Amino acid sequence: MSNNQPSASSKCVRVCQNRACKKQGAAKVLAAFKASVVPGVTVTPTGCLGQCGNGPMVLVLPDRIWYSGVRPYEVPMVVEQHLLDGHELKKML
Ligand code: FES
């Protein structure tokens, strides 16, 4: 039962799957993140992030970067620029 992660660079993407965000398409956003797996990045569904109405909400840890109103087609952009290159996408914060 060993759990030899996380490494220093590991990130966690939390995608809100609560009611308000779900209505705004959070399930597809979660699926899009799961479809583009990045080594060292975990993608998990989460309960309400307290930002209802601006959803779907996505939180990237440990950076504590929030993205609001995320669309599935924007996910590859977040993955490439934030998760791989380390630049958050300002316009979506
Ligand atoms: S339902 Fe997603 S932030 Fe509240």
56: how many CB neighbours lie within 10 A of its CB? 27
pLDDT tens over the chain, length 93 residues: 444 444 446 899 999 999 999 999 999 999 999 998 788 999 999 999 999 999 999 999 999 999 999 999 999 999 999 999 999 988 777
What string of DSSP letters covers 13-45? EEEE-SHHHHHTTHHHHHHHHHHS--TTEEEEE
CATH T-level topology, domain 11-92: Glutaredoxin (3.40.30)
- DSSP structural state of residue 67: E
17 Cβ inside 6 Å of ligand 1 = no
What pLDDT score was predicted for residue 76? 95
Q: Read off the tokens for 75.
A: 């996910």
Q: Which of 12, 15, 13 is nearest to 25 (CA)?
A: 15
| Ligand 1 neighbourhood includes 16 CB (under 6 angstroms) | yes
pLDDT of residue 9: 67
In the structure encoding, which two tokens stand for residue 33, read together?
A: 């993140």
- From 17, 48, 58, 59, mutation site for ligand 1 pocket: most ligand atoms within 8 A of C-beta: 48
